[in-house]
Amino acid sequence: MTESPPTTIWLARVRVMLKPVINDPQGKAIENGLLSLGFKGVQEVRAGKYLEIQIAAPDAADATRQADEMCRKLLANPVIEDYRFEIEERKVGG
């Protein structure tokens, strides 16, 4: 009987943004709201999504592969959005 490799919990921090050439109406609405509140230094706002996903995987390479696949298949629309993510080992306890 073979033992399965130990599994570690990894934290994927995922950021999804509209591509720079895509109009961002949500970002524009936020920008206008900030300007109307007196924040005169605001030049541009781009809105996006930030997600934290805990992934069980034997190593960082597998966690990275899973996170990339999640982004490609569901979390980002590659036609209009770019994504990036970081993987780190999840600290359990203290």
For 8-89, CATH gives: 3.30.1280.10
Statement: residue 6 has pLDDT above 90: no
Statement: residue 91 has pLDDT above 90: no
pLDDT of residue 13: 98
Reported as a single tens digit per residue, the pLDDT across 7-22 is 899 999 999 999 999 9
Q: What is the mean pLDDT of residues 63-88?
A: 98
Statement: residue 74 has pLDDT above 70: yes
Query: 64 exposed, middle or buried (CB, 10 Å; 0-12, 13-18, 19+)?
Result: middle
Residue for token pair 């050439």: 21
Give pTM, 2 decimals.
0.85
Q: What is the mean pLDDT of residues 27-40?
A: 98
Task: Give the domain ranges of the chain.
Answer: 8-89
Indicate the residue type of 93. G
Statement: residue 34 has pLDDT above 50: yes
